[in-house]
Each structure stands twice: as structure tokens, then as C-alpha cells.
Chains A and B, each alone.
Chain A
């Protein structure tokens, strides 16, 4: 199924997988909590891209509405998450996840 000339839906899925795994790699690799948040955003966007490609493939609008809801959840998550990070930084003076291990048990 060609979405564009010579570009099939598999091209878009491959790009989406690549971006998603880069985001997952960033979450595992980085120690700064803010960068980890940004990598989570990258993963959400990879999923959005595949949803839009499916929307074009099937000619419907439902997938694009789902992308809207993912954006809503991402915005709410960023607002609360950054507030938590600010509070953590105020109390602990770091955002390094190697230092923030009080709940390790």
C-alpha cells in the first residue's frame, strides 16, 4: 500500500520503530530526569506518526482524533512531571536519577 509515490506504510512504520527505540534507548541511557522526560515525548511522537500513517492508509479520521488525545495526555503528563521535578530539585538539589534513589529499599 503506497501512501506516497514509492513510499509504503512500512516505510513509515520503520521510521516510527526507529524513533520509538531511540526514545527507549534514551530513557535507559541518560541519567538526567529531564532528558528522560524528553525521550518519553519522543516515544509518544513515534506512536503518533504511525497512527497518522494508518489514518492515511485507511482514509479515516479516527486515528487522527486518537493522536489528539495522545497530545492531551502528553501535555498533562509534562505539566505534572515537570512540577514534580521542580519540587525534587528544590528538596534534593539534583535531577540525577543515580542520586535520587531514596525509594530503592
Chain B
């Protein structure tokens, strides 16, 4: 009973703050609402027995990525609301496209056939099990991720240089 209420509360919080990200005029408010969305998604991970993933999610997203966003908003001095010059037609088209996308995906989910899960004992979210899977079955993608990070780091440093033309 308690977990059910927690699910609905976290879902409502996530959807509400996702709306607030889009509809708030001030970019700093958008960043803060997005952090709230990430925290509620981390709560969902806790409910789904993915504790390590929840901790990593909070550390990576709320701790690193959103701080980066906040720094950029601060450095670009965007914290005053700027006027929206978009035409109403473009806004209407955007809402229509997203709504149609949602309708299609909900229809697909309703029609989808439910598999019968194996009913395995669920302690999948512990560090031990995740580590075994990551370092045994996914070792090559893990190493390639480091190459990706190196490339991203070099690219970010190069792009941030002063005298780029």
C-alpha cells in the first residue's frame, strides 16, 4: 500500500516538474525543476530495487550534469527571462507532434503482448551483481566507454579554447 502511494507520488512529481521545466520562462528555474525530476526518477529506481543505479543517477545527473548546466546558464547570463519570439503556429505544431507521438506509443503499449517473466529472485540492483555483469559480459563496451570519454574531453577542451575561428 505504501509503495503504491509512493509510486503515484513520485510519478506525479516527475511529470509536474517535467512540465515546469518546459513552461517556466527563467532558465535557472528550468534547471532546478529538472533536478527535481531526476530526484523523483531516482526514487523510482529505489522502488524498483536498483539501489546502486539510483545512487549513481543522483551523483552523475544531479551532481555533475546539472551543475554543468547551471554553470553555463550562469556564464551566459541567461537568468533573465527573454521574450519568446516563436510563432503560435510553431508551438501548436510542436504540441501536436508530441501528442501524436504519445498517442502512438500508448496504443503500441496497450496492444503489446505481455511476456511471462522467468520469476527470478530479484536482487539485481546490488553492486555485486551489477559488477559481475559489467566486468564479465560487457567488458569491451566498458573499455570503449573510456575511449568515448577521452574523445569527449579532448573535444570539449578544444572547443573551449579562446582563439578558435
Residues of A within 8 A of B (CB): 1, 3-7, 9-15, 17-26, 28-32, 34-35, 37-39, 41-42, 45, 48-49, 52-53, 55-62, 64-65, 67-69, 71-80, 82-87, 89, 95-96, 98
Residues of B within 8 A of A (CB): 1, 3-4, 7, 11, 14-15, 18-19, 21-22, 27, 30-31, 34, 37-38, 41, 44-45, 47-50, 53, 56-57, 60-61, 64-65, 68-69, 72-73, 75-76, 78, 82, 84-86, 90-91, 93-95, 97-99, 101-102, 105-106, 109, 114, 117-122, 124-125, 129-130, 132-134, 137-138, 141, 145, 148-149, 151-153, 155-157, 159-160, 164
Residue of A12, A38, A87 ringed by the most chain B CB atoms within 10 A: A38
Does A82 contact B118, Cβ atoms closer than 8 Å?
A: no
Once A18-B15, A71-B56 are accepted as A-B contacts, the answer to whether A56 and B50 lie under 8 Å apart by CB is yes
Main secondary structure on chain B at its contact with chain A? helix
Q: How many A-B residue pairs have CB under 8 A?
A: 224
Does A98 contact B130, Cβ atoms closer than 8 Å?
A: no
Does B130 contact A61, Cβ atoms closer than 8 Å?
A: yes
One of A23, A32, A67, A96 near B53 (C-beta < 8 A): A67
Once A7-B7, A32-B27 are accepted as A-B contacts, the answer to whether A74 and B124 lie under 8 Å apart by CB is no
